[in-house]
A and B are shown apart, each in its own frame.
Chain A
Amino acid sequence: MRLVCGALFALLALAAAAGAATPRPAPPSFVGQPPPAVASYAIAARLDPGSHRIDGRQTVRWRNPSRLPARELCFHLYVNGFRNSASTWLRREGREQIGELEPDGWGWIEIDRVEIADRELTLDLAFAAPDDANPEDRTVALLPLPFEVAAGEELELAVWFTAQLPRAVARTGYRGDYHFAAQWFPKLGVRDPDGSWRCRQFHRSSEFLADFGDYEVEITVPERFVVGATGVRAGSEPAGDGEVTHRYVQRGVHDFAWTAWPDFVEHTRTFRYEGRHEGLPEVEITLLGRPDAKHHAERYLAAVEHSLRLFGTWYGPYPYTTLTVVDPAWGAGATGGMEYPTFITGGTRIFNPAPTMAPEGVTVHEFGHQYFYGLIATDEVAESYLDEGINTYASYRVLAEAYGPRAWSFRAFGVPLVFPGIRQSWQLDSRPGYFRRPSTDPIARTSYGYLDRQAYRDLTYGKMALAMGQLERMLGRETMERAMRAYSAEWRFRHPRTADFIHSMSRSSGRDLSGYFDQVLYGSDVLDYAVTVAESRRRKGPIGVFGEGDERQTFAEAEQLPGFESEVVVRRLGGVRVPVAVELAFAGGERRRLRWDGEERWVRYRITGPRLLWAEADPDEVHLLDVDRLNNSRRTEPDRRASRRWTARARFWIQNLLETFAALA
């Protein structure tokens, strides 16, 4: 056994990994004090672009963060998700991707050798399938340790591995000579304080979780390749045979990804911002762009600058000194739209006019993950909504603030058709999928436990973002900002759970939010308020028999009284109960605001006064989760202007379509 502590490790490990004498001092990669390292990696990797294969050796320094001694290690071997059609990734929701891989685009990773304290343990490795007991799945491997690692103690191990990149699929792989290496090395799972491992298999609808640490990675590629990676480039040296070795370092992160392509066009910019009260640290931004989309470089860089400024202002400064954005090669879009620490991928098209917000939307979203996944490192498998949902909400705020609403558009034959007259709100209109199937599952599920992949997207991204937006409208923007900032500060460089999030938000906002989150996170009921009756009629006196004896009188005709009697019925059609405002508008301009707690199924209002014109439930659109906004309002008298206008248009379109059929005759 060899337990290694202290700073000597880094130098020794690097020297061993790189086979070099003494590494040069690396430029700073972190502003301030990085978090305590749990899992640090020194990796030397060489890419053979012909076979798309990576040969690597890594030295891992791991500190047991739990309260109990460790007797085994758990590794993720993610690339094995693309090994064959029997893997858990490909045999279920990912089966549609098999066509992308066959016949020769499969990916795999093999551990060639494992050593701890000069003792080879390769034969002790065993694959495990803790989620579905699939014997063919090789995305998780257990390594029994020859000795116990006590709580807080450190362990060093060396791993030799070979990774065959798949043809570009789901975030990783190659296309021609474009290579994107994500989840490409054996990576340790996360050991919880109670001694259990969070080390799930690789599923189609799942992402990642790892502990923070320091990374020093040497990547050897042919000289013609342009390389980008997590972290700061600390140098490049010839490696012989027309190859070059690039060295990257990064402290305080929990993953490392990189890309290599001869055709990348590099654009750089330094982000500087002096806010009103406090400045934000400088960040070197690098865009590795497609040569045929160079004209979008400025839009990418501007989107990153907006993100650095607004995320930094709202949720705390970005603590790293670099950020690299990759615009994947054409045909390798599967590697786009993804986040890694200090390293994100976007995606654009040659024709993307500004109103489509195509590179901006994805760039801001993936940057947002630097916070909600990167810094606040929630479990993307067990609680994916905590990163995807919260980040969707946060990135929509940035997009709305920086750009305003976008125009509706669709793409036909590579050309976008933009309809500037139809504006889409980022917060309200960007994730409509949830409303189509709102009750498939509660949000709070493992990412692979939803009914299907669409449900995963609709709930983790869509419903959670809407729930956060609704919370902002319920609490008020200032309170929400304060609560989110407090949550971000409290859980930075940690792994918060759902309960931690709810507790933090409740404490900071001064409101008990558990009832709200119980309904929207743990329940699958819908929120739907409807005005089902809105009527107004002239007041009339009573008719019938009145009085007794000699004074008995029959009134056959009602007496006209001044004013109107109006009736409004608001119903709660869904299971979610939240208070709702009801606004009534009367002739003469009078408005009345009523408030209903929503506890019963319906409420009826009877009002005497001016003529009622309309009634609306939730007039301020606080309830973003309301599944049907069309039934939220009702007029007492119909107004046919809109339906006439759109009927005329619809019929004209239909006439033209039918004439097109006739023209073929």
Chain B
Amino acid sequence: MREIAAARSGRHRPSALAAAAGGLRDALGRPGAVLALLALNLVAALAVAAPVASVLSAELDRNLYGETMAGGASWRWFDTVDREHPVLLGDLAAWHALLSDEGVTLGDLAKLSGLPLALAVAGLGLYWLNALFHTGWLAALWRQDQRFDAGGSSLAPGTAGAMLAGAARFAVPATVITVLAAAGYAGVYALAYVWLGRVLDGVGEASQREWVSLGLTWLRLTVTLFALLAVKLWSDLAKTLLVERGAARPLAALPGALVSALGELLRRAPAYVTAYLALALGTPLLAALWRLVAVLLEPATLWPILVVLVLAQQIVVGARICLRLAHLAATRRLVVAERV
């Protein structure tokens, strides 16, 4: 918080990378927040995974395929389970449509069932709950800064209570921002992914060269990812500005926060993108690390290894949550610096 206090006094403006590092420190300094979000994630995952676990037990425990699946994987087993338990994975065509150039329609979404439906419902629920949590977390950071500024070292730092209070205070405007961001994501999907994909597909095929098609596909993906990132950064900025401005009247501060967030993003997009991507690199690094570790944690024979595996999995998910909170904190640091 000293950097922020310093920034407020005009002595120091953090670079994007310094903001990212500071954001990471902010997130790591509050393990309670990470654990709370991890618990939320785990509860939702256990609920969604329950029918999967039930089918796995039914189709493996008394089956000779279990021997193969304990040591490796059997394509035929997966195929048969998918066939015999169609509700488990639901309508795969709807998933396929989501990624194809044709794009998913509302009709496709209405056909979702089984695990995909459970995932979608749980995912949307978590999306909203985490948006509220983010606002509460920002409010707690803000309050903490104020106390530092006031030289109030005797006051306790941001607590879970402060976070919940902040989340409750900003629940309505945060929900509005969340809905607008969701609409933004849907718009990016419809325009940058589906529409642009259809246009570029024709160009690629007419070229009679596959590498042209591939290049256009990857261009479209890049455009889509950056557009999604823009929506995400705008959403983070809007929440940050809302908290900074709206302690007394959150709803009244909402319109100004929405507009200012857009202006802020347009002015300093490279800094926000750099800070975000610097932290986002952590996810593929985690995935690569997990690939190495997971091989050693093969629970086929010894159940204690299963316990270690589950704990290691939680560390990975927790690290992702930590990175997510670090993104938010880094954005806030840049906002504060800009406003000095």
Contact = CB atoms under 8 A, between A and B. Distances in A.
Interface of A: 175-176, 178, 263, 290-293, 329-332, 349-351, 408, 412-414, 419, 421-425, 428-429, 432, 435-436, 534, 614, 616, 628-630, 632-635, 638-648, 650-652, 654-665
Interface in B52-88: 52-53, 56-57, 59-70, 72-81, 83-84
Contacts of B309: 648
Given A330-B207, A629-B80, A643-B56, A412 B69 contact: no
A350 to B, nearest CB: 5
Interface stretch (B5-13, B123-131, B155-163, B250-258): B123-131
A638 B317 CA distance: 31
Interface stretch (B103-111, B146-154, B213-221, B264-272): B213-221
A176 B75 contact: no
A293 B61 contact: no
B206 interface: yes
B70 A641 contact: yes
Interface residues of B, number: 81
B41 A436 contact: no
Given A647-B49, A648-B313, A663 B84 contact: no
24 contacts: A175-B208, A291-B209, A330-B207, A422-B73, A422-B75, A428-B76, A435-B79, A628-B84, A630-B59, A635-B62, A639-B70, A642-B65, A642-B69, A648-B309, A650-B52, A651-B53, A655-B317, A658-B122, A659-B321, A662-B126, A663-B320, A664-B181, A664-B185, A665-B127
Contact of A662 (B37, B59, B185): B37
B45 interface: yes
B217 A429 contact: no
Contacts of A175: 205-206, 208
Nearest to A349: B210
B44 interface: yes
Which applies to chain B's interface (DSSP): helix, strand, loop or mixed?
helix
Contacts of A614: 64
B127 A661 contact: yes
Contact of A652 (B70, B217, B313): B313
Given A414-B217, A648-B310, A648-B313, 13 more contacts: A414-B214, A534-B62, A639-B61, A642-B60, A642-B66, A642-B300, A648-B306, A657-B123, A658-B119, A659-B41, A663-B324, A665-B128, A665-B129
A424 B313 CA distance: 29
B299 interface: yes
A644 B131 contact: no
B191 interface: no
Contact of B303 (A332, A644, A664): A644
Contact of B208 (A331, A425, A642): A331
Contact of B56 (A290, A534, A646, A663): A646
Contacts of A665: 126-131, 134, 178, 181, 235
B289 interface: no
A332 B213 CA distance: 13
A589 to B, nearest CB: 16
A656 B317 contact: yes
A614 B66 CA distance: 12
Contacts of A263: 208
Q: Which 6 A-B pairs have the closest CB atoms?
A: A331-B205, A661-B123, A638-B61, A633-B64, A665-B131, A665-B130
Contacts of B114: none
A398 B210 CA distance: 29
Contact of B301 (A293, A330, A641): A641
B45 A651 contact: yes
A448 B7 CA distance: 75
A639 B301 CA distance: 11
Nearest to A656: B317
Nearest to A419: B73
A413 B207 contact: no
B317 A645 contact: no
